[in-house]
Structure 1
Amino acid sequence: MDWENVFASRSSRMKASEIRELLKLLDQPDIISFAGGIPDPALFPTEEFQQAFTNTLSGEKQTAALQYSVSEGYVPLRQWIAGQMEKLGIHCSIDNILITSGSQQALDYLGKLLLSPNDTALVTWPTYMGALGAFNAYEPVYDRLMANGNRSAAEYRDTAADNNSRVKFAYVSVDFANPTGETLDRPGRERLLDLAQDLDMPVIEDAAYQSLRYDGEAIPPILALDIERNGHIDKTRTLYCGSFSKTLAPGLRVGWVCAAQPVISKLVLMKQAADLHSSTINQIAIHEVASKGFDKQVAKISVAYSARRDCMLSALEVHMPEGVSWTKPEGGMFVWLTLPQGWDGADLLARSIETQRVAFVPGHAFYADGSNRNTMRLSFSQANEETINEGIRRLGMLLKSV
């Protein structure tokens, strides 16, 4: 069978994730990995989940937990999420919330809902490679989103028209973004809403790291600012994607979309066609653990990750050669390095694995056009402080040798 001859044209846009390949290195005990942005399993609320699953399977919720459920998601969980959204200035009801199998599924659904072949998607440069993977299958054209306002709506519109395209949405991670760790300030969020209004497009707000702030003042989500402008969530254009993966446990695959009800209604139809609903028992367990101790869990992981971030930033100051710069994130899991022009992160990774046994993610994978090869992403979430110091020392040795 010549499978390439029968695959849909969109399959040519599906590429293997460099991060997923790098995760295989974690099985090698001598590798120091700053690669995957993976929560530390030692910080999972394991006992709380054990109790939650025991309660669910031995109590009155047992039948509901093992049965088919509504596509929108477990009602008590959606009610709890609505309460959390209220704390962020996002006034909504459960009708504005759909539970998804992680926020990654939400990105796939939104790509499917909004993109026709050759439509233009505005993304930051760099951007989350998982978003590119989700959108690629729907065959968009990518253009660079300048969140600082350096490009006008007319320029975006004209560039799209030159490609026989039209701008369909902007995708952005505004808090401690993957991969850079950077945060978009409030004026930048307001400018993005202005641009979205001028282009009459939605904004996909990826809030996977929103809870992981260690320094500085919290900034209202774009959806909250959108509601301030328009008075009601059903009049907004922002699509907020949340997740429990970075705060409670990624393996349960529970995320959500919070958006205007007409969008949620369409997404529900897609959910019904794709997998009917997310795992009911996992939703019930997430609800029990979150409702009893979400803030306590966030506080615990914030202390640990904040210390690791500080350790990595200090180690970079000590060991990096001249000409290397890096971001200083207020939260999240990542530090972004920019190397001198002409250096190649992918080549450096191969040398690093061979000579230093340190893994990281080459930066070009986060660019829609594969550019800026002189960049790399480091994650501090899984390594302890001793390992971070040693890994950065080795990496500094490698870069100095170059």
Structure 2
Amino acid sequence: MDWQQIFATRNNRMKASEIRELLKLLDQPDIISFAGGIPDPDLFPAQAFQEAFSDALTPQNQATALQYSVSEGYGPLRDWIVEEMARLGVPCTRDNILITSGSQQALDYLGKLFLSPGDTALVGWPTYLGALGAFNAYEPRYDRLDPETNRSAADYAKEAGEGRVKFAYMSVDFANPTGKTLDHAMRERVIDLADALDIAVIEDAAYQSLRYEGEALAPVLAREIERKGDINACRTIYCGSFSKTLAPGLRVGWVCGAQQVISQLVLLKQAADLHSSTINQMAIATVARAQFDSHVTKIKAAYSARRDRMLAALEAHMPEGVTWTRPEGGMFVWLELPKQINSADLLARSLESERVAFVPGHAFFADGSGSNTLRLSFSRTNEALIDEGVARLGRLIAAA
């Protein structure tokens, strides 16, 4: 049977994630991988989760843990998130919170909620490739969101053509892939732009807790609440996740936003998977309540040291003409190579001769540009291997 002839046209825009493919290399022991932006499993609070799951399966809890549940999410977990959001300057209630299967599911739902074919999504250039993968299924066009400039709302609207601009998507703290953070002024400009265009703002906060130095900045949603007084009057939708702090395998994230948006997302959740795993939510709630802050302090110390080692190794081993970002947190450093070097070709040579993996930068650009860029992740690799891997990569680039 020719399945392709009956697939929906949107499938033509759906592509395999380059990062998911590169993660398969982690099983090869001689590969030094800077590819996947994933936590170090040695830092997982495994004992705490073992105890939390045991508690969830006690006679008094197992009926809740193993039963169907409400689509909005497990109440005690939503209560903890309400408290956490308040600490970030976002006063809200349970009704402003939806639990999702990781923040990736939230991006898929938001794409489905807002995008009709031909509508415009404003994204970074580069941006998180998982967001592009989520939005692509809904057949949008993309335009470059650039809060560093004063590009007018009228210019964005004109570029949109027949479709409407629907939202601005951005990772504001230690962004994937660049590691950059939007300063106060840029955050304010995004709110101004969204108000002028009458669009939503999707704030991807997956790395918000992983700050190693510098001043903590209020989320865009918090800044908008300062202006408008109430979360239900705001257009910013905050996407949070436990994947980078507690455990990615449990697939627990959340959306925080105006009740009108959350109620529509709940309908999408009901149609898709009814609700996220209840027992996983219970375990996350127990561990977060007991040790979220102390655990985040622990992993920040480890990742900060690896970031420092990677930056030092880049200084020591990269040839002239290579530049890179210096992130204040997160998991990534972004490299720009001399124009004539194609990072996809470089990866093929690197895997063959130097046994070092990274992600070519073109995957993070909606238009496939950025062929001379690449992303390095320092979160999974120990400091000695960071030195060795960067030295090998520098040698390869110098010979290119």
For 1:157, the equivalent position in structure 2 comes to 157
For 2:89, the equivalent position in structure 1 comes to 89
For 1:236, the equivalent position in structure 2 comes to 234
CA contact (8 A) 1:103 1:255 kept: yes
Alignment TM-score, normalising by the size of structure 1: 0.99
- The one-letter amino acid of 1:158's match is K
1:235, 1:60 → 2: CA distance? 40
1:66, 1:165 → 2: CA distance? 44
1:265, 1:242 → 2: CA distance? 18
For 1:310, the equivalent position in structure 2 comes to 308
Offset at 1:358? 0.1
For 1:250, the equivalent position in structure 2 comes to 248
Aligned partner of residue 160 in structure 2, secondary structure: helix
- The one-letter amino acid of 2:229's match is G
For 1:16, the equivalent position in structure 2 comes to 16
For 1:333, the equivalent position in structure 2 comes to 331
- Could you list the structure 1 runs, at least 4 aligned residues long, displaced by more than 3 angstroms after superposition: none
- The one-letter amino acid of 1:393's match is A
For 1:99, the equivalent position in structure 2 comes to 99
- The one-letter amino acid of 2:159's match is T
Offset at 1:59? 4.3
Aligned partner of residue 266 in structure 2, secondary structure: helix
Offset at 1:197? 0.4
CA contact (8 A) 1:149 1:192 kept: no
For 2:267, the equivalent position in structure 1 comes to 269
2:370, 2:45 → 1: CA distance? 39
- The one-letter amino acid of 2:248's match is P
CA RMSD for the aligned pairs? 0.5
Aligned partner of residue 146 in structure 1, secondary structure: coil
CA displacement 1:90-136 (0-9 Å, x = unmatched): 01001000000000000000000000000000000000000000000
Offset at 1:150? 3.4
2:280, 2:159 → 1: CA distance? 44
Aligned partner of residue 58 in structure 1, secondary structure: coil
- The one-letter amino acid of 1:323's match is G
- The one-letter amino acid of 2:258's match is A
Offset at 1:64? 0.2
For 2:204, the equivalent position in structure 1 comes to 206
For 1:58, the equivalent position in structure 2 comes to 58
- Alignment partner of 1:223 is 2:221: yes
For 1:38, the equivalent position in structure 2 comes to 38
For 2:286, the equivalent position in structure 1 comes to 288
For 2:190, the equivalent position in structure 1 comes to 192
- The one-letter amino acid of 2:85's match is M
1:314, 1:167 → 2: CA distance? 42
Q: Write out aligned runs for 1:109-120 (5 A).
A: 109-120=109-120
- Alignment partner of 1:324 is 2:322: yes
Q: Percent identity?
A: 71
Aligned partner of residue 126 in structure 2, secondary structure: coil
CA contact (8 A) 1:222 1:238 kept: yes
2:148, 2:231 → 1: CA distance? 25
Paired residue total: 400
CA contact (8 A) 1:208 1:241 kept: yes
Aligned partner of residue 395 in structure 1, secondary structure: helix
Offset at 1:274? 0.3
Alignment TM-score, normalising by the size of structure 2: 0.99
CA contact (8 A) 1:337 1:377 kept: yes
- Alignment partner of 1:68 is 2:68: yes
For 1:368, the equivalent position in structure 2 comes to 366
Offset at 1:149? 2.7
2:354, 2:300 → 1: CA distance? 29
